[in-house]
Structure 1
Amino acid sequence: MDTAELYRRFAVREVRGHSPAYEDLALEIAADARLLALIDGLPPIKRQPNLLLASVRFLGGPHADFGRFREWVVRHWAELRETVLARRTQTNEAGRCATLLPVLAGLTGPLALVEAGASAGLCLYPDRYRYRYDDRPVLGPEDSPVVLACRTNGRVPVPTRVPEVVWRAGLDLNPLDVREEETSRWLECLVWPGQHERLARLRGAVRIVREDPPHLVKGDLNETLRDLVASAPREATVVVFHSAVLPYLEEGERDRFVAAVRGLPVRWISNEGSPRLPSVLAGLGRDLPEDRLAFLPALDGRPVAMAGPHGEWLDWLDT
């Protein structure tokens, strides 16, 4: 799709109902020839709405008024362009653990977790968060600073306790260390304006990770995964999982990654936007929502649910 359509879809399917400021900005950008020309001068992977908008906020630019926003972007384009090129979206959304937990809890433990595209590793701690599914009792460690709320539909196998995780590691082309203040500030800029609860849980997850930093390996998914899996403890069930990472791989790289995971002695949990894994989408058996972005949590290549991209809702599939 062209850049205007990219920003319109972001406004309508992603931020609508979640961030009025970003919905307005994205729709205005989609109709502004000057801004579209500037954005089209970026490499395609760098034209992402969230990357551009987060970069503006990171540099201290406005986000509440399109006139001021447009003037600022045009005036500061050289600096903004440099930031966009240097940064990656890497939205490390701990809320996704709420949609992963029912799948993880159904596996034979203890678990050794390997996250592909781990960013700062916040999703490597599903056992350290608390969870509220609808009006069910909250589960998870009572002293956790993070409570993840998730609306459910269907026969979701909500566990009564979090799984035992005995080992955790992640890999990323650009792993982030949240002990660095600038890194934490960048992650906060990736949270959409007005999402106060999401910002609070990010800060809570950062606290947990700062106290017990994960083992993060810098490397290409297709070059590093096998060695990282081999280093996991043999007495544990090794789980390779990933969320919203496949859009950053070319189609051939995605195919290599899927083939590599399938060839390893692991359980594989994917949580990606529907077009990224055609084989998973083919097993859905129902239409996708047209008015909102849906992820497809899947176990070993078989879809088990549709989910909100930030873990805010989970619709279990009939199996």
Structure 2
Amino acid sequence: MISKVFLAYILIALSAAPPTAAAETDGPATASVIHPLDAPTAPTGPSTAHPATPVNLPTGENLSPTSDHQAANAPAISGHSPADTTAPVAVSKAGNFIDTATGHSVQKDAEMNATSPHAPEHYQEILPSTTCFPRKKSHGIENHHCNKALNKIVFAANQTLDKFSSLIFGNYKTCNVYVHKPQNATLTKVQLSLMVHSLTSACHSVGGVSSQASQIAVKVERGTKENTHEVDRPICKKQTCPLTQSDCLSAFYQLPTNANGIFVHSKGRRHYARVTSGNCTVTASTTDLSAFVIPRQFILPTMKKLINECAEHPGKIYLSGGAKGYNGDILLSAHPANEQLCE
């Protein structure tokens, strides 16, 4: 009788015992959940516009241009001779060239389209699409000359480009640097230096054009006598035309001015004015596309120097300063209204 009661207690105790470890493993496992606030998010801002790394492009060395800006559409920004642009091509350090539009490889002698991989992440939003010039067009640019050309560009006190100009130029020996931007846009010295460094690294010794989403473009080209100028020195053409000093001075005095004697344009373009008198057409413009700021009487001596030294030859001359932009000069030119009369 005692043994039956004892056996009953044992059975009751066994029925109340917790499940075994084996029984726990047989049940469904609970999936781990990452809270949305802790989960890694997709990158935001300008970096999302960059395409995925092309085939054969080494990880961490994405040199492809931004997807929404084809380098072939970069604006020509030379103040004197617009440069040709070429179809964009991505290039890796290993020498793999990929057409960013088709994904197919192209020949190595094609112009390289690249974005420098060495830029700090903080400046990724200004990295441009880049088109290099062919070697036959431009070569011999020394990068350290480009650094000195940058140092010749005048910045505001806060180290930004002024908001009055649209075209800015800096030159030192073998390197010309052009910056084309919307008039009210600006760019810091650090950002511009980064763009130029990226361009000269990708287009070593040949130069090229870089553009970005904010319509700011930078061009680096070989500095030559044809694309640089000296101020206060007339540049006369060889052809002889029936130009007279009286006609050219008359045209100069007829250039429209405001009440302060500062050149203006009847159609609202404050950086440009042109008048023809007799057979002489005189044009006044600012090199940075900003407004004139000095009265006509201070420009007259430079105009007289041009027509006296060039005489019957068409010509032009640059006057230092006189523009609202910090880097602008005034360009004066005298040309025949009818070039068919020239010899």
TM-score by length of 2: 0.22
The structure whose residues are more often helix, as a share, is 1
Q: Taking CA–CA contacts closer than 8 Å with sequence separation of 6 or more, which of the two structures ends up with the larger relative contact order?
A: 1
**Structure of greater Rg:** 2
TM-score by length of 1: 0.23
